[in-house]
Structure 1
Amino acid sequence: MQAMTFCKECNFMLHPRENKEEERLEYVCLNCGQYSETPDTSCVFRRVLQHSEQERTQILQEGAVADPTLPRTRSVRCPKPECGHREAVFFRVGAVDPLEAVSPIPSGRLLIFKFAASCERVAQYARKT
């Protein structure tokens, strides 16, 4: 996280501003108008979210059916007898099996998961090398 910077003339806090002529970020004092050179990094704000492997997998599961960027197939029938739909969403996971709590997968292997799009039930999964 970037530290707050202060004006060398009047000790007021410097605020970020875009210098449109030079196309760069600089800091300016709103009290006296002095400005500072471009900060060392161009990052203005950074948020780091840390989730366990199980939490990341759960987030992926919840959004998998609604995600239009994931591939879909109509060749898999839902294993639930009362459902019977054929559309499924599939994706691969390389670190954790979402069907179990936390299970490391040996290196070089991937898991392919298929979810029935209608009832969000796991249709099948297969280990690939």
Structure 2
Amino acid sequence: MAGSDTHSGAVPLRFCPNSNDLLYPKEDRVNKKLVYFCRNCDYTIAATENCVHRRTIFHSASEITAVIHDVRTDPTLPRSKDVQCSLCDAREAVFFSQTTTEGMSLFFQCINCGNKWKDTGTVA
């Protein structure tokens, strides 16, 4: 049983063969190793693995941070007058950063027409 769940990421619970109580991990400082012990009797066993707890977090698609589609009216976002919209040639846009597959990216949205674009880092 101890090795059966190692590939799934689960850390198996261990129980005392004398009292059926849960075994707890602790450091054996003298031998410099991890052991499991029973709180109700003197039973102790050496750990076969160093992992005593693993927490795996899974995110569903609904939990991923959503970006508001029209951010022009958000008063907390900074504005720039140093960009030009490719659709209406307006010179003002709000901007924000977001994590993408390439890393952090800077996005703009035109105040006038709502056109959105990603900063490519090139100067026009």
Q: TM-score, normalised by structure 2?
A: 0.46
Which one has the bigger helix percentage?
A: 1
Highest RCO, 1 vs 2 (Cα 8 Å, sep ≥ 6)? 1
Q: TM-score, normalised by structure 1?
A: 0.45
